[in-house]
Structure formats: C-alpha cells, structure tokens
Chains A and B, each alone.
Chain A
Amino acid sequence: EVQLVESGGGLVQPGGSLRLSCSASGFTFSSFVFYWVRQAPGKGLEYVSGITNNGGSTYYADSVKGRFTISRDNSKNTLYLQMSSLRAEDTAAYYCVKGYSNGWSHFDSWGQGTLVTVSS
C-alpha cells in the first residue's frame, strides 16, 4: 500500500525558513516523479513544485521560484521542500503527491498534508 507521510510544518515568521519532508513507503520510490501541491485556507489547490524520479528535472510555480527548493533522497525514500523567505501567502496545507510514473505524469497518490502557517 502506498503511504506518504508529510512532516515539518508549523508556525514560522515572515522571512523565515522551513523544510518539509515526505516519507514514502509501499512502492519503489526511485521510480516515480513527485510533487508538492498546496492549499491555502478556504482556497483551491495549487501545484507548487515537482521533481522527476532521478532528480534531473524540476519545476517551480512562479509564486515560489527562487524561494523554494525541491529535492529527494532516493536512498531514504524521502522527498523534501526547502522553503525560505516565507510570506503570509505561503500559509497553506502542503501535500506530498506521488506521480503515476517516472516522468511528468498526473498526480496519483496523495499524502494527508502538513500545515504551514506564516505569521508574526
């Protein structure tokens, strides 16, 4: 069974940094593309970042480009999102999402999310 468990969320001040992690199990982690999708309170879903199975290609939404860095450690079955220069508008639930295949495939399996709150 696919399991995706996010961690690392919490309260951070504007301008601060936070690193989210997503621990994966139940499948061959290194064979799949991964994504981060976020949802601000009461709002819709937003695709934030993605990384191919070998880490060779990444994507960032314009809203986070230059501030967020996605990475993965295939030896630890873990996905990361390093977030810096955080703003109030980054407040959201962040979902770790497994893609359907190794390339830029659709969103397949979703974690339960971790909440990030940016506030002074």
Chain B
Amino acid sequence: QTVVTQEPPFSVSPGGTVTLTCGLSSGSVSTSHYPSWYQQTPGQAPRTLIYSTNTRSSGVPDRFSGSILGNKAALTITGAQADDESDYYCVLYMGSGIRVFGGGTKLTVL
C-alpha cells in the first residue's frame, strides 16, 4: 500500500519562505511520479498550482515553485501572503492511471 506523506500543520510569517514536501512511505519521489500540487481554502474547491514537478498552472503566481529536493517533491512559497493560508495537497502518479493524494498540509500565515 503506497502512502504519500506530507508534513503536519506548518506556519510561515508574512513575507517569509516556506517549503512543503511530499514523500513516499517506501522509496524516493522522482520526476517520473509527475508530482503535482493543489491548494484548497476552507469551503472552496481545490485549485491546481503545480504539475509535472515544476510547471505552474495558468494564472498561478511565480512565488509558487515546485522541485525535487532529495528524495521528495517540494512546493516552495516565496514571499508568503495572507491569502496563501490554505491546505496544500500533493499527488503522485504511480502508473496505469493511478494517482495518490498525500494527506495534505495545513499552512498558516502569521
């Protein structure tokens, strides 16, 4: 059973930089997993931020960036703003149409 891991609740100061990560319970995350990231604010539908590791979805500000850091996928927010306070989910592609969500990380900006 593949488990995609994300951090517990995180906080960042306004204007600060934060990196959220997405790992595997067994093995390393690579570009072959086509990591993608989604933002969800309470009561709203998710929004696609990043796909294929580091490609920003249309309209996503460039303060959001994706990468592989070590054996995990990473989402970095540079210059955090108050409206970045959200839940962030990563998804990894496991082949054959199978995509697995991480449990999400709640980010507080304060």
Report A's interface with B, CB cutoff 8 A. 37, 44-47, 50, 57-59, 95, 100, 104, 106-113
In chain B, positions 64-110 with a C-beta closer than 8 Å to chain A are 87, 89, 91, 93, 96-104
List 29 A-B residue pairs with CB atoms under 8 Å apart, sorted by A's residue number: A44-B87, A44-B89, A44-B102, A44-B103, A44-B104, A45-B104, A46-B101, A47-B99, A50-B97, A57-B97, A59-B98, A95-B45, A95-B46, A104-B99, A106-B34, A106-B36, A106-B48, A106-B52, A106-B91, A106-B93, A106-B99, A107-B46, A107-B91, A107-B99, A108-B51, A108-B57, A110-B45, A110-B48, A112-B45
Report B's interface with A, CB cutoff 8 A. 34, 36, 38, 40, 45-48, 51-52, 57, 87, 89, 91, 93, 96-104
Q: Which of B47, B96, B101 contacts A47 (CB 8 A)?
A: B101
Q: Once the chains bind, are B48 and A113 in contact (CB under 8 Å)?
A: no
Q: Which of A37, A59, A108, A111 contacts B97 (CB 8 A)?
A: A59
User: Which residues on the B side are within 8 Å of A107 (C-beta)?
Assistant: 36, 38, 46, 48, 91, 99
User: Which residues on the B side are within 8 Å of A113 (C-beta)?
Assistant: 45
User: Which residues on the A side are within 8 Å of B52 (C-beta)?
Assistant: 106
User: Which residues on the A side are within 8 Å of B34 (C-beta)?
Assistant: 106
Given contact pairs A45-B89, A106-B51, enumerate 8 new A-B contacts (beta carbons under 8 Å): A44-B87, A45-B101, A59-B98, A100-B51, A106-B34, A106-B91, A107-B36, A111-B45
User: Which residues on the A side are within 8 Å of B97 (C-beta)?
Assistant: 50, 57-59, 104
The smallest beta-carbon distance between B75 and chain A, in angstroms, is: 14
Q: Once the chains bind, are B103 and A110 in contact (CB under 8 Å)?
A: no
User: Which residues on the B side are within 8 Å of A57 (C-beta)?
Assistant: 97
- A109 vs B47: C-alpha distance in the bound complex, in angstroms? 7
- A100 vs B99: C-alpha distance in the bound complex, in angstroms? 14
Given contacts A106-B91, A108-B48, A110-B45, contact A47 B104 (CB under 8 A): no
User: Which residues on the A side are within 8 Å of B104 (C-beta)?
Assistant: 44-45
- A43 vs B31: C-alpha distance in the bound complex, in angstroms? 27
- A110 vs B41: C-alpha distance in the bound complex, in angstroms? 13
The smallest beta-carbon distance between A93 and chain B, in angstroms, is: 8
User: Which residues on the A side are within 8 Å of B99 (C-beta)?
Assistant: 47, 50, 104, 106-107
